[in-house]
Amino acid sequence: MNAPKQIRAALGAVLMCFALFAAAQGDLEINTPAIAAIKQSMQARHAQLGPLFASGAIGLSRDGNVAVRDASGVPLAQRAQVNALISSENADRAALYREIARANGRPDWESDVRATFAQRWIDRAPAGWWVQRNGGWSQK
Amino acid sequence: MPVAWLPVLLGLFLTGAADAARLDIELGRIEHAAFTAENVRVTLNLVQATGTLSIARFSALGRVWADLRLHCSEFAVAAASIECGRGTLTLPGSRETLDVQFAYDPDAGTARAQVRSAAGELVRAGLASSGEFRAVLSDVAIGRFAEVMPQLAEWQAQGRLNAQIDYRPDPSARITASGRLHGGGFSSADGLQAAEGLGIEFDVRGMFREGGWDWGGRLAWGEGEAYLHPIYLAAGPVLEAEGRLQGDRLTLGNAKLALEGVDAIEARGDFELDPLRVRRAAISVGGADLGRIGPDFIAPVLAPARAATLRFAGTVGGAAAFVEDRLVGLDLSFDDAAVAMDDVDVGFGPLNGRLPWRADSPTDIDIAVGGGHWQQLTLGAFALAARVEGLSIEVPRLAVPVLDGRLILGDLALRRIAAGWTGRGNATIEPVSMALLAEAVGLPPMSGVLSASLPGLRVDPGELALDGTLVVSVFDGYLRATNLRWLEPFGVASHLFVDVEARSLDLTQLTDAFAFGSITGRLDADVRGLELARWRPVRFAAELRSSPGRYPRRISQRAVQNIGALGGPGAAMAIQRGFLGFFETFGYSEIGLSCVLRDGVCAMDGIPGARPGTPGDGFVIVRGGGIPALNVIGYNRRVDWDELLERLQRVIATNVPPVIE
């Protein structure tokens, strides 16, 4: 699969994740303005993250975040920006998990939401992406 | 350290007559302070004047090489020396051969050697009878040293070295090394610690004393770049340091780092090297220009996600202390410092004062803040006095001037947990003039005051909740906001929940302020579950109605037209146009309008229970009363919210008299 196809697949995966998550959880509320804002922010950022996922510089971690796997292929001067990008993405993801829990009136579900999403992100990741499982990084 | 050559001649014998041209010399074991060679054997071909030196085991710098073999095409044994010319050294486990020349005089204890690789690397070394040793390295790949420093291979170290190394045994052993690394680089497996194109000049020295080495040196990083997660560095820093190495214990007596933008950086410490551990260490930073170091060093560490939007100014100094790998103390001092976050338009400064912190005892912060801003609101000077203990902070009282009033935070106790900050407190807003507030935030002129009493301020990760009431006395009535919750205040999903209750607003003042035409009367409103995302309403259930009581109730032509215009072409009001053309104002008995906003659509209704008396699904917004009277009836029950706002803005902006047909 070439890079553009991977990115398209990844974008699809992001969107699918929300739908699948809702389906898996029955009548879970995921359609609030806040969640929509977070989704929009994440989708906008994916244009920058997609090539980094495809190259293996970053991967999906088992805690529902994005993490650096091997930044060697990224020019040194851009590694701080990659870190900033990942921090922004993880801040959005943390807000997403909190918001889904809040939107359903169960803020205490946040860790469950995070765990479920983490598994979904990994399951739905396109071929070639790196994901973190119990044994460490592996390529899908 | 005494240096002694101890060649032990274990055997010298001629082989049988048939091999009389071959001479085997067993030198046995050769010891030097820097190396040991065992089972050293020299085999000479006396006819061809060639020789082969083999060393079964060679130890140096803590490493061992086995089965070294050096063949010399020109081999000469004189009375007192052995010389090897055009030699070829074969290293075990490698196809590479090195060109070698050497001369060795066991009696005098002198030697000289030269080794050259096919890649042009050259090492020349000489040993004097005094035991002094010198090696000159030219373009030697530092990967060569991986045998003695396995870390070089682990870190994928690259680069070439030009250096001169001198060793002098007496009266105390001394080593000096100076030179330059060029084309250097390294990388950790994940690329989070890496450097490329390094050019470093170095000058280091060591003296052996009482079982350890007193050392000192200077490193000047002149070329290249590095990323030491999460900080990107470019060439420029110069390090000067001295200390002592004894066994695995490294003492850093004094280290000074010259870094652009900082007056002075100094460090001291005591470390264990295997495994690396900080026993005690201290670092001090003086006169750091925040405008220079803030974006490069502070933002990537403290707030990488916002690094691009953080702005710094002023000067900071500080000191940090570490014990047993743990930060135990930190002292920061601010001198006209300032910090701002562009994306949320918040800034504070100048800041002056001290921020001490100790891991195991409480400390007091005392910082004078010269002012600040939040979006268009300017904040006055205030003092931040707080007590810090571990990862908790207590602020007994913080009074921030806002226009002609003050925001007062009281009994604020916050604690840092893994997910963010959590804590409790209370807040009060001492009356702020609405005239000034409106002017500051670009609202039409209005009178009144804003005040608040919020006894239950609660902070949790991603949430700020305010139990209590915020009251705005405005338009001769008041607005009361309760159940304030601000979620993800600094994130993309920043949204605010609040219930608003308005009572007895003077519609004359209100409609004048917003240039909406003129309505005389009073208005009550309830807005439940108002959700603002980035300060724009995205959800609410609003109900507006005439206040109870007796008071004049008139509505102008223009206000009627504007209400009609808000409905859009497909939602024209049923206005009794015949009357409209004759009178400037009309009497009314009641105004009522409700809107439930969901998913960008406002579901509208009018006065509860009022029937329009016209065909269709209309609803009464203004019920006429008195003479002349008119009804305003809406027909469009579902209105696009953004479109509605756009029309409202247009109505207010155009501010032109209506055309009555």
CB contact at 8 A, B567 and B639: yes
Judged by average pLDDT, the poorest of B118-127, B155-164, B316-325, B491-500 is B491-500
Given the DSSP bridges, would you call strands A130-133 and A136-139 parallel, antiparallel or unpaired? antiparallel
- Residue B503 reports pLDDT greater than 70: yes
Give B230's contacts in chain A (Cβ within 8 Å). 80, 83
Query: Quick check: B539 contacting A, CB < 8 Å?
Result: yes
pLDDT in tens, A29-40: 677 888 888 999
- Structure tokens belonging to residue B398: 């913080």
What is the predicted pLDDT for the residue at B421?
93
Judged by CB atoms closer than 8 Å, whether chains meet at B488 and A34 is answered as yes
- Residue B15 reports pLDDT greater than 60: no
Ramachandran sector of residue B616 (left: φ over 0; alpha: ψ -120 to 50; beta: rest): left
For residues A130 and A122, what is the distance between their CA atoms, to the nearest angstrom? 9
Residues across chain B: 661
Provide the pLDDT confidence category of residue B13 given band limits of 50, 70 and 90: very low
Query: Quick check: A124 contacting B, CB < 8 Å?
Result: no
Query: Quick check: B598 contacting A, CB < 8 Å?
Result: no
Once rounded to an integer, what is the mean pLDDT over residues B566-594?
67
For residue B654, give how far its alpha carbon lies from the nearest alpha carbon of chain A (Å).
31
Measure Cα distances from B481 to B61, B467, B497, B514 in Å: 75, 10, 10, 21
For residue B390, give how far its alpha carbon lies from the nearest alpha carbon of chain A (Å).
25
CA-wise closest residue to A121 among A33, A29, A12: A12
Judged by average pLDDT, the poorest of B21-35, B340-354, B355-369 is B21-35
Judged by average pLDDT, the poorest of B165-174, B332-341, B528-537, B605-614 is B605-614
- Residue B611 reports pLDDT greater than 90: no
Query: Quick check: A70 contacting B, CB < 8 Å?
Result: yes
Judged by CB atoms closer than 8 Å, whether chains meet at B230 and A83 is answered as yes
For residues B134 and B112, what is the distance between their CA atoms, to the nearest angstrom? 9
Please, which residues bridge with residue B526 across strands? B501, B543
Give A33's contacts in chain B (Cβ within 8 Å). 495, 531, 533, 538-539
For residues B520 and B324, what is the distance between their CA atoms, to the nearest angstrom? 75
For residues B88 and A27, what is the distance between their CA atoms, to the nearest angstrom? 79
Please, which residues bridge with residue B331 across strands? B319, B356
Judged by CB atoms closer than 8 Å, whether chains meet at A95 and B538 is answered as no
Judged by average pLDDT, the poorest of B8-17, B395-404, B474-483 is B8-17
What is the predicted pLDDT for the residue at B90?
83
**Chain A residues 19-48 within an 8 A CB cutoff of chain B:** 33-35, 37-38, 40-41
CB pairs under 8 A between A and B: 99
Query: Quick check: B486 contacting A, CB < 8 Å?
Result: no
Domain range annotation of chain B? 1-92, 498-654
- Structure tokens belonging to residue B140: 């030697």
pLDDT > 90: percent of chain B:
61
CB neighbour list of residue B576: distance below 8 Å, 6 or more residues apart: B624, B630, B631
Give A94's contacts in chain B (Cβ within 8 Å). 419, 461-462
pLDDT in tens, B267-295: 999 999 988 999 999 999 999 999 999 99
- Structure tokens belonging to residue B217: 């040196």
Judged by CB atoms closer than 8 Å, whether chains meet at A34 and B231 is answered as no
What is the predicted pLDDT for the residue at B407?
95
Long-range contacts of range A116-119, CB-CB < 8 Å, 24 or more positions apart? A116/A21, A116/A24, A116/A25, A117/A17, A117/A21, A117/A64, A117/A93, A118/A60, A118/A61, A118/A62, A118/A63, A118/A64, A118/A65
CA-wise closest residue to B243 among B223, B219, B277, B267: B267
What is the predicted pLDDT for the residue at B568?
53
Continuous H helices in B448-543? 507-513
For residue B25, give how far its alpha carbon lies from the nearest alpha carbon of chain A (Å).
53
Higher-confidence position of B649 and B161 = B161
CB contact at 8 A, B464 and A5: no
What is the predicted pLDDT for the residue at B454?
92
Higher-confidence position of B334 and A11 = B334
Judged by average pLDDT, the poorest of B115-129, B151-165, B186-200, B441-455 is B441-455
- Residue B213 reports pLDDT greater than 90: yes
For residues B488 and B555, what is the distance between their CA atoms, to the nearest angstrom? 42
What is the predicted pLDDT for the residue at A63?
94
Cα-Cα-Cα-Cα torsion B292, B294, B300, B302, nearest 10 degrees, comes to 170
What is the predicted pLDDT for the residue at B31?
82
What is the predicted pLDDT for the residue at B1?
32
Higher-confidence position of B342 and B79 = B342
For residues B276 and B611, what is the distance between their CA atoms, to the nearest angstrom? 84
- Residue A115 reports pLDDT greater than 60: yes
Higher-confidence position of A50 and B1 = A50
For residue B426, give how far its alpha carbon lies from the nearest alpha carbon of chain A (Å).
23
Average pLDDT, chain A: 84
- Residue B342 reports pLDDT greater than 60: yes
pLDDT > 70: percent of chain B:
93
Provide the pLDDT confidence category of residue B151 given band limits of 50, 70 and 90: confident
- Structure tokens belonging to residue B189: 């497996």
For residues B554 and B152, what is the distance between their CA atoms, to the nearest angstrom? 88
Once rounded to an integer, what is the mean pLDDT over residues B577-596?
80
- Residue B10 reports pLDDT greater than 50: no
- Structure tokens belonging to residue A128: 């070639």
Give A102's contacts in chain B (Cβ within 8 Å). 487
Judged by CB atoms closer than 8 Å, whether chains meet at B195 and A76 is answered as yes
What is the predicted pLDDT for the residue at B8?
31
Once rounded to an integer, what is the mean pLDDT over residues B416-428?
93
Nearest residue on chain B to A36, judged by CA atoms? Answer: B493
pLDDT in tens, B70-125: 899 988 877 778 888 899 988 777 778 899 998 988 888 899 999 999 999 999 99
Please, which residues bridge with residue B532 across strands? B496, B537
- Residue B14 reports pLDDT greater than 60: no
- Residue B6 reports pLDDT greater than 50: no
Once rounded to an integer, what is the mean pLDDT over residues B434-454?
89
Q: How far apart are the first and last CA of chain B?
A: 112
pLDDT in tens, A15-30: 555 555 554 455 566 7
Provide the pLDDT confidence category of residue B552 given band limits of 50, 70 and 90: very high
Interface test with A, best of B186, B192, B492 (most A CBs within 10 A): B492
Average pLDDT, chain B: 88
For residue A52, give how far its alpha carbon lies from the nearest alpha carbon of chain B (Å).
13
For residues B634 and B591, what is the distance between their CA atoms, to the nearest angstrom? 12
How many structural domains compose chain A?
1
Judged by average pLDDT, the poorest of B223-227, B265-269, B395-399, B490-494 is B490-494
- Residue B25 reports pLDDT greater than 60: yes
Give B195's contacts in chain A (Cβ within 8 Å). 76
For residues B510 and B524, what is the distance between their CA atoms, to the nearest angstrom? 12
| Domain extent for A7 | 3-139
- Model pTM score: 0.82
What is the predicted pLDDT for the residue at A11?
47
Give A88's contacts in chain B (Cβ within 8 Å). 305
Closest partner residue to A84 (CB to CB) among B308, B534, B538 is B308
